[in-house]
Amino acid sequence: MTSLETGIEQKDYLYAVLDLPNTAPQNEIRERYRALSVIFHPDKQHDERVKDTASTKFLEIQKAYEGESPRRSHAYKDTTPLLCVAFLTPNLCGKQFCQILFFGKSTITWVSPNRNHPSDADIHTLVYFLDAQVQKNAQQKGNQIKAVLNQWKIDHGQEILQELLKPRGSVTCAVNASSLFASGDVLKSDSRTVLDRVRGVEVSSFGVRHSIMKDLGPKTTIGLIGHAQPGSRDYISSKGTLTGTLRHQFSPRFVLELTAAFLRPHIVTAKTTYSDNENAVSLQTNFIPALWYLFPPLTTLSFGRRLFRDSLTQGSAAWTYTPASPAGRLELSVFTPKPFDLTSPEDFVHTGDRANYYSNNRPGSTTGFAAGVQTWSYGLVLSGIDSCITTEFSVSFVELALRLKASVEVGLRGAAYFLSAKWSGEKSAFSTGVGVGNKGVMLRFELSYLQQKWMLPITLSPDNDQSLALYTVVLPSTALALGYHFILKPRRRTQRAKYFDNARRTLNDEKSELKREIETTTLLLQDPARRHMDAERAKGGLVILEAIYGPAWPDKETAGLDVDVTIPLQALVHNSQVYVSGKLPKSGIRGFYDPAPASPKSLRVRYTFRDRMHFAEIPDLVPIVLPLRDHLVM
């Protein structure tokens, strides 16, 4: 977000908190600020149940009036400390705290100037600093704090074990099944039966690769990679390789990586990369010390950058030099991603951090195809007889974690195309694809689980058999359709129903923080709303009879998520008028609460003006302007 957009957002937030139009003069802003400060000032509250909520609202109003950013104000609300725990390191003791743990209402936040988590020595020297309002309840919170710390130790220990060596493994088993689909003329006269065709299927190659990585510091990483492929025709691969890697990040933009093979031939690879927000440059060279006279060695120089400031289009160029081909190999490509949303603009509400578009805490669509990213890629390769033109199109459905890709390559050696589909979960992934080219027809399956990968490439024909390729596409397509119908679609519906169930439970739970905040805020606004209503009714002005804030299209899934906002809306009436900006969601208005922030919302209002009935249904990002002639009920 640019500084200009941030400034506009701060200004909109100021007016939304004070319930004023963006054109309100300064004296009206001061008047509204004083009125709201009197209502929510903690010293004016005699009921202990509403003091905490009043303090939070008062601070929010004060910060908004002073021009604080909405992100900072909301952060204060989420991290209002019930207890602050500070960790000291021996060398900083007496100077400053290096770790502060905020036990908030629903989250735990670390504030650390030197590292993300405390060490064992920090935990050993634990010092408690209690907020003044919570100090009297510190003993009751003791067990809760101990439980949180113990759970943190367990989770942190698991993270350490997972990140200690970062093990990665892959197994590749290539199968030659061309005998199953070979024509009768190709097979021998005594090998034309079905059983003989099945017996002709064989494993053409088998390879195992495993790697471990170890962080020596925040900028340095070492790794060890082993690869074995017995039976390979390649002399180097058939012996196996064992390589070590050293990676050091000199700065956020400059990285150097060195790789050396411990077995003969001792291949050494050096790679350096420089990248910033707009450009990326990489230089990689491979050489064998015993063949030092082959100079210059195999070298690849690549460059990429964002082509336009107002677009995500990226371009890249790579040139590879080999001693056998002085002209080298030149690759040019253009990459254009484009997010899409097939729903109407009101179907989903984007409210910043509360409803991250790509997070799992949003309902999403029923089918899962509503939103995603489509990408076009075009490339040109200049390398003698291997020169070709490539085109690739892919579409990713973020709600299903599914990616479909199709690519075409046309060159001097002929044409080739590849179709693939990949599903990615939190711990596992599965992909399948079909490729057709001058090397034959290939069917590929890939399964990943916990950073371990199994690959199964199957050669169906050594020739470019278009008919066989067409029939082969049916297999992964059928698997994709069945997987979507029986696995992905029911899973999407379950996630959607779970989202609304959790929101409904939070809204209706008598002990939930949201329920308590709704009740206390309504109680705080009850007296001013009553005074406004009496004054408006006496002069035939604007009287709010009923106001409901909830899902725009109520159905079985969204049932029970409506919030009665009659009192908060009546409290906004000023001189027989109500105006609330539509640039921010209405959940930011005091007394308006949204238990399901990522689903579309609307405000339904029944009111009287000049003793005549009016009704309005206002979408979430449309300004509230009352009264209007269009709302009149005939």
Residue 4 predicted with pLDDT over 60:
no
Query: What does the pLDDT read at residue 126?
Result: 41
Over residues 190-211, mean pLDDT: 82
Decide if 545 contacts 578 (C-beta within 8 A). no
Each residue of 352-368: pLDDT tens digit?
Answer: 333 333 344 456 677 78
Percent with pLDDT over 90 in the chain: 24
Each residue of 380-402: pLDDT tens digit?
Answer: 999 888 899 999 999 999 888 89
Each residue of 571-604: pLDDT tens digit?
Answer: 888 888 888 877 667 777 777 877 777 777 889 9
Residue that has been written with the tokens 């030092």 in this structure: 292
Query: What does the pLDDT read at residue 189?
Result: 53
Query: What does the pLDDT read at residue 545?
Result: 93
Question: CA 232, CA 250: separation in Å to the nearest integer?
Answer: 39
CA distances from 52 to 46, 104, 131, 469, 563 (A): 12, 13, 13, 68, 21
Residue 234 predicted with pLDDT over 70:
no
Decide if 493 contacts 368 (C-beta within 8 A). no
Each residue of 18-40: pLDDT tens digit?
Answer: 666 666 677 777 777 777 776 77
Residue 292 predicted with pLDDT over 80:
no
Question: CA 570, CA 528: separation in Å to the nearest integer?
Answer: 9
Question: CA 474, CA 468: separation in Å to the nearest integer?
Answer: 10
* More reliable by pLDDT, 453 or 493: 453
Over residues 543-566, mean pLDDT: 85
Which of 71-85, 487-501, 546-560 shows the lowest mean pLDDT across its residues?
Answer: 71-85
DSSP letters, 382-429, are E-GGG-EEEEEEEEEETTTTEEEEEEEEEETTEEEEEEEEEEE-SSEE
Percent with pLDDT over 70 in the chain: 71
Query: What does the pLDDT read at residue 178?
Result: 86
At residue 353, what are phi and psi to the nearest 5 degrees? -65, -25
Over residues 430-443, mean pLDDT: 90
Question: CA 530, CA 477: separation in Å to the nearest integer?
Answer: 64
Query: What does the pLDDT read at residue 563?
Result: 85
Question: CA 501, CA 489: separation in Å to the nearest integer?
Answer: 18
Over residues 508-523, mean pLDDT: 73
Each residue of 294-329: pLDDT tens digit?
Answer: 778 889 999 999 988 888 899 999 999 988 777 889
Domains of the chain in start order, with CATH, are 3-78 (1.10.287), 83-161 (no CATH), 342-489 (no CATH), 513-631 (no CATH)
Residue 161 predicted with pLDDT over 90:
no
Query: What does the pLDDT read at residue 17?
Result: 64
Each residue of 39-51: pLDDT tens digit?
Answer: 777 666 666 666 6
Over residues 543-547, mean pLDDT: 92
